Structure 1
Amino acid sequence: MMRAGAVAMAVLAGPAQAADYYFCWIGANDYTMTGAMSVVHSAINKPIITAPDVTNFQITGFHQGFPIGSWSLANRAPTDTWVLNFDPATNSFLPGDASPLGYTQGWNADGTATDCGPGGFGFNSGNYAQDFCLNGKWIEESGIAPETVFVVGQSPLDASCNFYPPTS
Structure 2
Amino acid sequence: MKAGPALLAALAALPALPAQAVELHFCWRGNAGYTMTGSMRFPDALLATDLVTEADVTHFEITGYRDGETLGRWRLKDLTPETSWLLSFDPQEMRFPMPGFGVFQAWNADGAVDDCGDPGFGFNAGNGGQDVCVNGRFVTESTIPWHTPLIAGPEPVSADCIGSRLLSEARN
TM-score range for the pair, normalised by the shorter chain length: 0.7 to 0.9
**Are the equivalent residues in 2 in contact too, given 1:115–1:136 (CA < 8 A)?**
yes
Report how far residue 117 of structure 1 moved: 1.7
Report how far residue 163 of structure 1 moved: 5.6
Matched residue, 1:43:
46
Does residue 64 of structure 2 align to residue 54 of structure 1?
no
Q: How does 1:67-82 map to 2 (within 5 A)?
A: 67-82=70-85
Aligned equivalents of 1:68, 1:57: Cα separation in 2: 17
Report how far residue 35 of structure 1 moved: 0.5
Matched residue, 1:94:
97
**Are the equivalent residues in 1 in contact too, given 2:95–2:149 (CA < 8 A)?**
yes
Percentage of matched positions with identical amino acids:
43
Higher fraction of helix = 2
Unaligned runs of 5+ in 2: 1-17, 165-172
Larger CA Rg, structure 1 vs 2 = 2
Instruction: Give every structure 1 segment of 4 or more consecutive aligned residues whose post-TM-superposition deviation is greater than 4 Å.
Output: none
Matched residue, 1:106:
106
Query: What's the CA shift string for 1:54-94, capped at 9, x where partnerless?
Result: 00000000000100010000122221011001010110011
Matched residue, 2:128:
128
Give the secondary-structure state (helix, strand or coil) at the position aligned to 1:32. strand
Matched residue, 2:86:
83
Q: Which residue of the other structure, out of 16, 20, 24, is the alignment partner of 1:21?
A: 24
Report how far residue 16 of structure 1 moved: 5.9
Report how far residue 41 of structure 1 moved: 2.2
TM value normalised by structure 2? 0.80
Report how far residue 96 of structure 1 moved: 5.2
RMSD across aligned positions (CA): 1.7
Matched residue, 1:144:
144
* Equivalent residue letter for 2:66: H
Query: What's the CA shift string for 1:4-45, capped at 9, x where partnerless?
Result: xxxxxxxxxxx8611110000000011000000001223222
Matched residue, 2:8:
none
Aligned equivalents of 1:35, 1:163: Cα separation in 2: 16
Task: Describe the shift of the 1:37–1:110 C-alpha distance in structure 2 as closer, same or farther (beyond 3 A).
Answer: same
Unaligned runs of 5+ in 1: 1-14
Aligned equivalents of 1:53, 1:41: Cα separation in 2: 11
Aligned equivalents of 1:41, 1:153: Cα separation in 2: 13
Aligned equivalents of 1:23, 1:93: Cα separation in 2: 10
Task: Describe the shift of the 1:152–1:76 C-alpha distance in structure 2 as closer, same or farther (beyond 3 A).
Answer: closer
Report how far residue 154 of structure 1 moved: 4.3
